Amino acid sequence: MIKKLNPFFSGILMLGIIAIIMLTPLDEAIKELPFSSFQIEYVVLTVKMLSIFLISLVLIKKLNETALSGNSSKYKWSFKYVNLIPFYLFILGILGFINKDLSSINFFNVLLLLIACLLVGFAEEFVFRGYLQPIFIKKYISHKNGIFLGILFPAVFFGASHLLNLTVNDNIPQVIGQSIYAILIGFFFGIALIKTNKLLPIAITHGLINFFFLFGSLPSLNNTDDYSTSNAGMTLTEQIFSAAIPILIFLPLFVIGLILLGKINKEDVQKKINL
C-alpha cells in the first residue's frame, strides 16, 4: 500500500508527523530534572529526532527501495569525493568559535550536542532522501527532467519542514532563509545520494554540519541575552540581509548539484528501482 501512495501526499503526511512530534511539549516532562535549559532542549531534541529516525526506518523498509534509498549492499560507496564537497561548511562553522575560550566547556554538553545533531542528520536524511526521494524518482523517472524533479521535490519538502521554526522564532525572514538554504543543501544531498549510492555518509555529514554551526551555542560560549537583544533590535531590512547571507553560503552546493546532475545516467537510476 505504501508503494502506491501519491508522493505529494506522502510528503505532506511526513510533514504532519514531524510537526506532531516536534510540537509535543516533552520539555514539560523533564523540566523538574536537574538539567540546565540547554540540556533540556537537546535531550528533548534527541528524543524527538530518534523517534523520527525510527519511523523513517520503518517506512524505508516497507517501501523496499534499498538501492534508491542508499541502503543496498549491492551498490558500493562510489564517488566518495562528493561527500567531501560540503567540507567548507565545517570550516565556516569552526571559524565561528575558534577564537573563543574553550576551557570552560562542559564535556557532557558537547556530547549531548553532538548526539542530537547527528540524530537530526539521520532523521532528516532518512526521511527526505531515504524515504521520500525514491518515491518521487519512481514517479518522475519517465519524464524528461525526471531525476531533477525527483530530487527537487523532496528537497522542497525538506525546506518546508523548517517552517516549523516559526513556532519558536519570530524572526520571519530568518526562518524563511533557513527553509531556502535547506532546499539548496537538500538538493545537493539528493544528488550525492544518487552519485555515491550510500545514505549513511550523507546523514553523518549533515549531522556534523549542524554540530559545527551550533557549537557556538554551548552555554559557556554563547551569551543568550546579548543575542536576544540584538535580534529584537534588528530592522526588517537587517533581518532580511542577515537571512540572505546563509543562502549565499549554501548556494554553491546547489550549483554543484546541478553540475553533477548532468553526469547522472538515467538508465543507471532506473536499474536501481526495486533493487
Q: C-alpha grid cell for residue 116?
A: 542530537
The tens digit of pLDDT for each residue in 156-188 reads: 999 999 999 999 999 999 999 999 999 999 999
Distance CA 224, CA 232 (A): 12
Domain extent at residue 43: 2-224+231-272
Give whole-number Cα distances, 122 to 24, 46, 118, 136, 223, in Å.
20, 11, 6, 20, 29
Q: C-alpha grid cell for residue 69?
A: 534509498
Predicted pLDDT of residue 233: 73
Q: Is the pTM of this model over 0.75?
A: yes
Q: C-alpha grid cell for residue 87?
A: 567540507
Distance CA 130, CA 111 (A): 26
Predicted pLDDT of residue 188: 98
Q: Which parts of the chain register pLDDT below 70?
A: 1-4, 223-232, 275
Looking at the structure of the chain, the number of domains it has is: 1
**Torsion sign, CA atoms 206, 208, 209, 215:** positive
Predicted pLDDT of residue 100: 87
Instruction: Name 177's Cβ contacts closer than 8 Å, sequence gap at least 6.
Output: 242, 243, 244, 246, 247
Q: C-alpha grid cell for residue 32?
A: 523538574
The tens digit of pLDDT for each residue in 68-82 reads: 999 999 999 999 999
Predicted pLDDT of residue 220: 82
CB contact at 8 A, 158 and 128: yes
